[in-house]
Structure 1
Amino acid sequence: MAQTETLLQTLAAKLPLLLSTAGLLVAVFLAQVLLKGNPLANLPVALDDLPSDEKRRQVFLTRAKDVYATGYKKFKDRVFRIITSNKYHVIIVPPKYLNELKSLPDDTVSFDGAIEQTMHAKYTKLEVGHKLIPHIVKSNLTPSLVRLNPTIAEEVQESFRREMPECDDWTPVNINYKLLRIVAMVSGRVFIGPELSRSEEYVDAAINYTIDLMHARRAVDTMRPWLRPFLANRLPEIKKLNERLAQADAFIKPIVAHRKKLPKEQAPDDMLQWMLDGQSEKFGGEYKTETLARMQLGISFAAIHTTTMTTTNVFYNLAAYPQYVSVLRDEVRDVLAQNNNTFTSAALQGMKRLDSFIKETMRIDPAGFAGFQRRVYKPFTLSNGQVIPADVIIEVPAHALAKDPDVFENPDQFNPWRFYDIRQKAREQGAVEEAAQNQFVSVNPLVLTFGYGRHACPGRFFAANEIKMIIANTILMYDMKLMDGHTQRYPNLEFGLSSVPDPTKELLFKRIEIA
């Protein structure tokens, strides 16, 4: 007891010294912070006329396109920042620095880190960062397209027979809904095999996982960031997504388990099998069955969501500008006639006006307003001396760039032959590389549909072929137009960073006589 009292007396005697020492340490820390300064403080912010970051965040939710456009117009070749729904500070880097950005290592700027951030992978449980998937796409899927294209074309035609009504007279069709099913089946044919790709169980899982994932992402987006760790998992959209994941896992896991037991000579020729065969220590070792099932869902999301949106956008333009359909139809017929009426790789490459129509559609109506999203893990310095700090997201203002009159003539005008003319002129001048860069599938620093640099979308060749086949088959079989009373293209729905074709709209289709 006496020892305790002595110890307390000693502490009491030294308390003022301890408090003053602690106070000094706090003061030194604060001084260091103040001297170091806020690395974002000197960066201009879009919508700087608004009184707070929360006000800017609210504007971003409903008018993100205007936020990017206003910032781009005001600061143009300068780095600036915006306040988004997902992370408070996002740094916008001018497009002229793209070649510098693409050379940065992954431990400095991370594509996967940006996906985790923008898709809220912590809450949506989206599988991100597996090296096996891009490897399989690049080494197996893309080289196989020459062999697979006729099979894909057959699947497109079969899916149309299953999904489209007769359309003997003008018939309203919700083309977005039909495309979700068609793309799911066509993509599934390559991803998981013909026996499963047409089953309702698979189609339902693939489509509704994609839809539920996007709903969950948007729900988290609308929640204030500081509340997410406490409340995001309670959101109805997140709970519904978790239920969908459990259902899809239960369906896909037995398929993966069965494939693992098959003899090599019985192995199917599809992406699931390539993934099973490609597992190695280089790509993270052997994956659990559950992980492979989730990876298949992730592949379906990437393929179905983006391909359906792109193709729906194209259909809305075809219906809004019917004067161009006959030109495209003639091109498709001529090219197929030169290729034994088969959708070979050469035939798809020969549909140059169709290619231009699709690329112009994505210039005018992209899936998002920014490109080249990366999460910054280490500070780096641009060639102009501007330091980009860690712990931010960087983006390039892709849509504002695509609507810049200094980059594209009459940028607000839909010109379906814009890129066709650019390619033709480049060929005439012997600029082969420029001609190649202006194809739909090409990675182009002026149109960032597929990203840029080494993380450009690896599946873009498959996606481009699938989109072309769907559109070509449609214009060979149908005339189409907007619903009665509509004279202009249906506007896209905009939410935060995303721009999507209105999924509730219908088009009128009428089957044509095949010559």
Structure 2
Amino acid sequence: MADTQAIPVLEAIIAKLPLIFPALAATVTLVLLQAVLSRKSLAKFPVAGQALGGDEKRRQAYLHRAADLYVEGYQKFKDSVFRIVTSNKFTVIVVPPKYLGELRKLPDDVVSFDGAIAQTMHAKYTKLPIGSTLIPHTIKTSLTPALVRLNPSIADEVKESISQELPPCDDWTPVNINQKLLRIVALVSGRVFIGAELSRSEEYLDAAINYTIELMEARRAVEQVRPWLRPILAPRLPEVKSLDRRLVQADKFLRPIVAARQQMQDGEKPDDLLQWLMDGQDKFKQYTTAELARFQLALSFAAIHTTTLTSTNVFYNLAAYPQHMPELRDEIRTVLAEHDGVFTSSALQAMKKLDSFLKETMRLYPVGSASFQRMVNKPFRLSNGQVIPAGVVIEVPAAAISHDPEVFQNPDKFDPWRFSRLREQARAAGEAEAAAQNQFVSVNPNVMTFGFGRHACPGRFFAANEIKMIVANFVLAYDMSLPEGVTERYPNLAFGVSFVPDPRKEILLKRIA
């Protein structure tokens, strides 16, 4: 019976074969033609890792030593554009920093910041929310201006969190500083993001911290899968499934909070980022409670992940170079004495050596090999005549620039007061703008910690204040050193294009009198 019913269907298919085959052939021809043209256009750019012999070997090299590829390309081709074969489906075109002035002027429909993040973070599988203008708008227009008002309460949260999370350390005590900083940063950030009462909830801390960790684990797991297999295998990866469960759990916790906020009258509303996001919706679109809850997780990732990485790098340097601690401590004590012991905005700005220590840390220990990532949606021409094709991601080799002896003197040496000296020299020469460019929060082509252009990290002012308060409190309260037998600063770990301080390491802390 089933075979009899299938006969008319087969006859109908056979009858249409003369129409299907030409259409199928045309489609295949078009795809092959596009692939050939794409390869031809990309072949114009020299490739880093040429000696490796093939793209598959270059993909493997990208996974395990991407930094070497960026440095090789930067040194070999210097002021020229070159390409890097990544472990993803797309090709990266690396552009020298001299073109940043013209790149920053390109509209978003030509080069897309969100498109690049979607690719590098594998948003299709990790479900990281991409493309909302509400978040950066709210950070720029509400959070940053509020820092003058919020800094004293942020400082209180920093002090309380350190007291809560640290052991007594009356004698030299080994401490996994990365683990401690995860909770301290989550507590401090949560105070601003979602309010003091909720930020101390273990349920919130668990969601905020573990979402950050699981998101990065899922990203790395997807990165290991061959691009053509990702649509099939990526959703089944244990790391991706774990992240999915975390999203469901956090969503269940955060949605009632958002719903309760929606019922509040103006006089009852808290003074925090969640409320500012909710109040700012009318300028953009009305988001569901689920979407607003997802935004909170995305903010936790952006704040906790990068701030903890940066702070851990700073503490590894403090422990490795304890000879700089007295000078740093003297500055912090002097500045606070001049500001009634309060971490005001002006006090934080006056801590120039602390600011320099942070910027030098990020110069020498960046979070990645590249910056200014943009997905190219439409071809465009550089001033040298080169055409950058659509479908690639452009980047600037930030880490290689920071290690260039033509840019920085003794670039491989950790020089904590490098940028405070540069600020003083520029100020003495009457170059106020050049002096400002050497601040931790500044974006410039030489140190691209926070990106560049209109999509530079909007939360960098909050992050800088938070890091400065955390570091200052530790410097005032503790001596630090590396454990016995460890003679050099802990090396960072590399995962593809990313660098992270080894989260397993300990430093020694001892409370000072």
**TM-score normalized by structure 2?**
0.94
Pairing 1:338–2:338 present? yes
Deviation, structure 1 residue 395: 0.4
Deviation, structure 1 residue 33: 7.7
Judge conservation of contact 2:90–2:391 (CA < 8 Å) in 1: no
Q: Deviations over 1:285-304 (max 9, x none)?
A: 11000000000000000000
Distance 1:172 1:328, change over 3 A: same
Q: Which amino acid aligns with 2:143?
A: L
SS at match of 1:449: coil
Q: Which amino acid aligns with 2:59?
A: R
Aligned twin of 1:325: 325
Aligned twin of 1:4: none
CA distance in 2, matches of 1:19, 1:87: 29
Judge conservation of contact 2:309–2:501 (CA < 8 Å) in 1: yes
CA distance in 2, matches of 1:289, 1:230: 30
Distance 1:250 1:36, change over 3 A: closer
Deviation, structure 1 residue 50: 1.4
Segments of structure 1 that go 5 or more residues without pairing to the other structure are 1-7
Within 5 A, what are the aligned runs for 1:233-252?
A: 233-252=235-254
Q: Deviations over 1:362-421 (max 9, x none)?
A: 000001110000001000000000000001111000000000011001101111111011
CA distance in 2, matches of 1:330, 1:485: 29
Q: 1:135 aligns with which of 134, 137, 148?
A: 137
Aligned twin of 1:505: 505
Aligned twin of 2:233: 231
Higher mean Cα deviation, 31-40 or 389-398? 31-40
Deviation, structure 1 residue 57: 0.8
Aligned twin of 1:348: 348
Q: Which amino acid aligns with 2:402?
A: A
CA distance in 1, matches of 2:494, 2:301: 20
Q: 2:158 aligns with which of 153, 156, 168?
A: 156
CA distance in 2, matches of 1:376, 1:25: 24
Aligned twin of 2:440: 440
Deviation, structure 1 residue 445: 1.2
Aligned twin of 1:258: 260
Distance 1:21 1:357, change over 3 A: closer
Aligned twin of 1:41: 43
Deviation, structure 1 residue 489: 0.3
Aligned twin of 1:480: 480
Q: 1:69 aligns with which of 55, 68, 71?
A: 71
Deviation, structure 1 residue 49: 1.0
Identity %: 67
Aligned twin of 1:363: 363
Within 5 A, what are the aligned runs for 1:447-458?
A: 447-458=447-458
Distance 1:29 1:314, change over 3 A: closer
CA distance in 2, matches of 1:349, 1:254: 39
Aligned twin of 2:207: 205
Judge conservation of contact 2:187–2:199 (CA < 8 Å) in 1: yes
Judge conservation of contact 2:90–2:393 (CA < 8 Å) in 1: no
CA distance in 2, matches of 1:118, 1:30: 26
Aligned twin of 1:298: 298
Deviation, structure 1 residue 62: 1.1
CA distance in 1, matches of 2:477, 2:318: 14
CA distance in 2, matches of 1:512, 1:390: 58
Deviation, structure 1 residue 42: 1.1
RMSD: 2.2
CA distance in 2, matches of 1:228, 1:330: 54
Aligned twin of 1:403: 403
Deviation, structure 1 residue 41: 1.3
Q: Which runs of 4+ in 1 moved over 4 A?
A: 17-37
Aligned twin of 2:3: none
Q: Which amino acid aligns with 1:375?
A: M
Distance 1:54 1:143, change over 3 A: same
Distance 1:141 1:18, change over 3 A: closer
Deviation, structure 1 residue 51: 1.7
Q: Deviations over 1:97-124 (max 9, x none)?
A: 0111111000000111111000000000
CA distance in 1, matches of 2:240, 2:29: 44
Q: Which amino acid aligns with 1:367?
A: V
Deviation, structure 1 residue 38: 2.0
Pairing 1:417–2:389 present? no
Deviation, structure 1 residue 306: 0.2
Q: Which amino acid aligns with 2:455?
A: H
CA distance in 2, matches of 1:52, 1:298: 37
Q: Which amino acid aligns with 1:210?
A: T
Distance 1:79 1:28, change over 3 A: closer
CA distance in 2, matches of 1:220, 1:129: 21
Distance 1:204 1:34, change over 3 A: closer
Deviation, structure 1 residue 89: 1.3
Aligned twin of 2:7: none
Aligned twin of 1:169: 171
Q: 2:96 aligns with which of 86, 94, 98?
A: 94
Q: 2:271 aligns with which of 269, 278, 293?
A: 269
CA distance in 2, matches of 1:382, 1:164: 52
CA distance in 1, matches of 2:484, 2:386: 54
Aligned twin of 2:382: 382
Aligned twin of 2:6: none
Q: Which amino acid aligns with 2:170?
A: D
Deviation, structure 1 residue 88: 4.2
CA distance in 1, matches of 2:32, 2:117: 34
Q: Deviations over 1:202-232 (max 9, x none)?
A: 1111000000000000000111111100110
Deviation, structure 1 residue 85: 1.9
Q: Which amino acid aligns with 1:479?
A: D
CA distance in 2, matches of 1:25, 1:342: 68
Aligned twin of 1:5: none
Judge conservation of contact 2:129–2:294 (CA < 8 Å) in 1: yes
SS at match of 1:404: coil
CA distance in 1, matches of 2:401, 2:486: 30
Deviation, structure 1 residue 59: 0.9
CA distance in 1, matches of 2:289, 2:30: 53
Distance 1:37 1:334, change over 3 A: closer
SS at match of 1:312: helix
CA distance in 2, matches of 1:20, 1:251: 55
Deviation, structure 1 residue 28: 9.6
Q: Deviations over 1:172-195 (max 9, x none)?
A: 110000000000000000000001
**TM-score normalized by structure 1?**
0.94
Q: Which amino acid aligns with 2:461?
A: F
Distance 1:24 1:441, change over 3 A: closer
CA distance in 1, matches of 2:355, 2:327: 13
Q: Deviations over 1:246-301 (max 9, x none)?
A: 11001111000000001111000000000111102x42x11000000000000000
Q: Which amino acid aligns with 2:74?
A: Y
SS at match of 2:41: coil
Q: Deviations over 1:1-32 (max 9, x none)?
A: xxxxxxx9xx99xx8x9999998998899789
CA distance in 2, matches of 1:426, 1:251: 51
Deviation, structure 1 residue 236: 0.2
Deviation, structure 1 residue 87: 3.5
Distance 1:186 1:96, change over 3 A: same
Name the count of aligned residue pairs.
500
Q: Which amino acid aligns with 1:156?
A: V
Distance 1:64 1:267, change over 3 A: same
CA distance in 1, matches of 2:109, 2:410: 40
